């Protein structure tokens, strides 16, 4: 009898940490609504019997039972209460809430974290590019009418309204917004490359702007649909946008490496268009490959973009600084292709095991630009073009190095945020061996993962 008492006491002591753990459960099936706020409950009407209701959270305990935690604030008094529910009652309660969510607040569980970015992007791109492109499509090289000045403003407002209407109840993740905005920008360039492939050096202005508009709109829609259907992360979308842009440039530079100084012929222009488009297509697959080999955060994609830019411009800056009067097009183009590839590889290696935040990548980019401005300014001060070019690249590289090293340790800490812990219950082995608990199950171990 004493042995049983000792073993049961030991079992109870060792199991406290196991049964004391709990996991917060989302109220919706997509896992987005972790808290029912006062504002959300105004739509749902679930806690109207709670005066001063502030928020509610649901937890699942280790024994599969549930606990509903309700926070209220009444007359300046903060209070928190719990309602215990069995496993069956908790699951039924959760199913009921999800049913109410689908009926009364269908958009509450939709991820629209990227909607504001998409609205901003569509409005500004329409105002500063697509509006003017529409005028060029309509009037060509003829004189614009007096009312043409209104086109960018009308198109920007219409673009905002249409985008807002179409995405009102639709998911717009950060990844979808990023890939759509990438298509909005690069699609317009791809349209011009297509017109170059079709017409060579005799490209009609209306054809160029028309294909540019068509390309931008088509790739915006395609980017949104692909990212939404694949649940693409913002980092993966950023990696694809970056690689697509730089491999497109590499394709155009390959045409320069082949044709040399003969840059105005129809053959050269068509080659630039064709190889640029081929490079863009290859960049999609390259970016997808990079982002599947390792996890890319949005900041990682930003670091990759800056590294690629430094690699692409290094050969040009070096040759201009050494011998600005005689630049060999084939040599520069070939070296810039190699530099771009080196910059992409280096950027990909620099983010291994790290998760840079967007703000960290932004500061690193600004540090790069700031360094370039300082270096270029020094060249202007001494009135030497070669110093300006070399100083700009050296300053940019220095600014990037400072920004990167400033955040590298923090980015590595973000990457290593997971913590898997395994807890054993030694008393359960003793009870099982002694056959003291034939009618009940005793946990031998538990595992927890801290995010």
Q: How far is 333 from 325, CA to CA, in rounded Å?
A: 16
* pLDDT value of position 436: 45
* pLDDT value of position 417: 46
For the residues 258-275, what does the mean pLDDT come to? 86
Q: What percent of the chain has pLDDT over 70?
A: 86
* pLDDT value of position 423: 46
Q: How far is 45 from 94, CA to CA, in rounded Å?
A: 15
pTM value is 0.77
Q: Would residue 324 count as lying in a domain? A: no
CATH of the domain at 27: 3.30.160
For the residues 108-125, what does the mean pLDDT come to? 91
The residue among 84, 109, 134 that closes a domain is 109
The residue among 81, 109, 137 that closes a domain is 109
| H/E run at residue 45 | none
Q: What percent of the chain has pLDDT over 90?
A: 62
Give yes or no for residue 425 having a pLDDT over 80.
no
The model's confidence at residue 449, banded by pLDDT at 50, 70 and 90, is very low
Instruction: Summarize pLDDT for 8-34 with one digit per residue, the tens.
Output: 555 444 444 444 468 999 988 777 788
The model's confidence at residue 106, banded by pLDDT at 50, 70 and 90, is confident
Q: How far is 432 from 443, CA to CA, in rounded Å?
A: 10
* pLDDT value of position 118: 96
The model's confidence at residue 6, banded by pLDDT at 50, 70 and 90, is low
* pLDDT value of position 269: 92
Closest CA to 305 of 245, 363, 254, 253: 245
Give yes or no for residue 322 having a pLDDT over 90.
no
Considering the domain architecture, whether residues 206 and 164 belong to the same structural domain is answered as yes
* pLDDT value of position 75: 81
Considering the domain architecture, whether residues 211 and 141 belong to the same structural domain is answered as yes
> How far is the CA of 276 from the CAs of 58, 123, 196, 273, 330, in angstroms?
53, 27, 10, 5, 16
Closest CA to 237 of 114, 120, 121, 409: 114
* pLDDT value of position 157: 96
* pLDDT value of position 404: 96
Give yes or no for residue 416 having a pLDDT over 60.
no
Considering the domain architecture, whether residues 120 and 207 belong to the same structural domain is answered as yes
Considering the domain architecture, whether residues 153 and 127 belong to the same structural domain is answered as yes
Highest mean pLDDT among 65-69, 104-108, 323-327: 65-69
99-105 — which CB contacts under 8 Å span 24+ positions?
A: 100/44, 100/46, 101/27, 101/28, 101/33, 101/44, 104/43, 104/44, 104/45, 105/40, 105/43, 105/44
Q: Would residue 240 count as lying in a domain? A: no
Give yes or no for residue 441 having a pLDDT over 80.
no
Considering the domain architecture, whether residues 91 and 192 belong to the same structural domain is answered as no
Considering the domain architecture, whether residues 228 and 123 belong to the same structural domain is answered as yes
The model's confidence at residue 107, banded by pLDDT at 50, 70 and 90, is confident
The model's confidence at residue 3, banded by pLDDT at 50, 70 and 90, is low
Q: Would residue 181 count as lying in a domain? A: yes
Structural domain of residue 177, as residue ranges? 111-232
Considering the domain architecture, whether residues 80 and 116 belong to the same structural domain is answered as no
Q: Would residue 410 count as lying in a domain? A: no
Contact 265, 325 (CB under 8 A): no
Which range is least confidently modeled, 183-197, 313-327, 369-383? 313-327
> How far is the CA of 318 from the CAs of 16, 61, 311, 342, 389, in angstroms?
67, 64, 11, 15, 8
For the residues 184-191, what does the mean pLDDT come to? 97
Give yes or no for residue 166 having a pLDDT over 80.
yes
Q: Would residue 49 count as lying in a domain? A: yes
Of the two residues 393 and 141, the one the predictor is more confident about is 393
Instruction: Summarize pLDDT for 242-255 with one digit per residue, the tens.
Output: 999 999 999 999 99
The model's confidence at residue 78, banded by pLDDT at 50, 70 and 90, is confident
Considering the domain architecture, whether residues 178 and 125 belong to the same structural domain is answered as yes
Mean pLDDT taken over the chain: 86
Considering the domain architecture, whether residues 68 and 150 belong to the same structural domain is answered as no
Q: Would residue 61 count as lying in a domain? A: yes
Considering the domain architecture, whether residues 227 and 140 belong to the same structural domain is answered as yes
The residue among 62, 77, 109 that closes a domain is 109
Q: Would residue 395 count as lying in a domain? A: no
Q: How many independent structural domains does the chain possess?
A: 2
Highest mean pLDDT among 163-172, 391-400, 403-412, 416-425: 391-400
* pLDDT value of position 17: 45
Considering the domain architecture, whether residues 227 and 118 belong to the same structural domain is answered as yes
Considering the domain architecture, whether residues 115 and 228 belong to the same structural domain is answered as yes
Instruction: Summarize pLDDT for 123-145 with one digit per residue, the tens.
Output: 999 999 999 999 999 998 888 88
Q: Would residue 314 count as lying in a domain? A: no
* pLDDT value of position 427: 44
Give yes or no for residue 81 having a pLDDT over 50.
yes
């Amino acid at each position: 009898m004493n042995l049983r008492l000792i073993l049961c006491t030991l079992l109870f002591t060792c199991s406290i940490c196991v049964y004391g753990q709990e996991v917060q459960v989302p109220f919706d099936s997509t896992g987005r609504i972790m808290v029912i706020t006062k504002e959300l409950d105004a739509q749902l009407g679930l806690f109207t019997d709670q005066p001063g209701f502030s928020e509610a959270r649901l937890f699942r305990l280790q024994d599969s039972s549930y606990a509903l935690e309700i926070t209220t604030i009444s007359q300046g008094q903060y209070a928190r209460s719990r309602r215990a529910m069995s496993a069956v009652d908790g699951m039924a309660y959760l199913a009921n809430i999800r049913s109410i969510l689908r009926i009364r607040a269908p958009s509450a569980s939709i991820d629209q974290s990227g909607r504001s970015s998409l609205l901003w992007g569509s409005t500004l791109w329409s105002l500063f590019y697509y509006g003017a492109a529409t005028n060029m499509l309509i009037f060509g090289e003829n004189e614009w009418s007096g009312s043409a000045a209104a086109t960018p403003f009308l198109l920007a407002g219409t673009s905002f309204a249409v985008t807002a209407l179409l995405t009102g109840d639709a998911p717009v993740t950060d990844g979808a917004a990023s890939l759509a905005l990438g298509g909005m920008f690069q699609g317009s360039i791809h349209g011009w490359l297509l017109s170059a492939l079709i017409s060579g050096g005799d490209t009609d202005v209306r054809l160029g702007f028309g294909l540019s508009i068509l390309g931008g709109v088509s790739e915006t829609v395609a980017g949104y649909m692909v990212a939404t259907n694949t649940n693409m992360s913002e980092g993966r979308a950023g990696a694809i946008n970056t690689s697509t842009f730089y491999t497109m440039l590499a394709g155009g530079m390959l045409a320069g490496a082949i044709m040399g100084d003969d840059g105005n012929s129809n053959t050269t222009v068509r080659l630039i268009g064709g190889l640029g488009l081929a490079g863009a297509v290859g960049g999609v697959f390259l970016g997808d490959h990079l982002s599947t080999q390792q996890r890319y955060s949005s900041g990682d994609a930003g670091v990759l973009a800056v590294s690629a830019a430094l690699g692409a411009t290094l050969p040009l800056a070096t040759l201009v600084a050494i011998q600005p009067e005689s630049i060999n097009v084939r040599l520069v183009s070939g070296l810039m292709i190699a530099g771009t590839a080196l910059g992409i590889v280096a950027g990909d290696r620099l983010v291994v095991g790290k998760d840079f935040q967007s703000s960290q990548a932004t500061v690193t980019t600004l540090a790069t630009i700031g360094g370039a401005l300082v270096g270029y300014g020094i060249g202007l001060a001494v009135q030497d073009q070669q110093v300006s070019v070399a100083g700009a690249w050296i300053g940019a590289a220095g600014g990037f190095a400072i920004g990167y090293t400033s955040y590298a340790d923090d980015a590595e800490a973000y990457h290593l945020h997971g913590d898997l812990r395994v807890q054993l219950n030694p008393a359960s082995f003793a009870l099982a061996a002694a056959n003291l608990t034939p009618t009940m199950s005793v946990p031998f171990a538990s595992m927890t993962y801290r995010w």
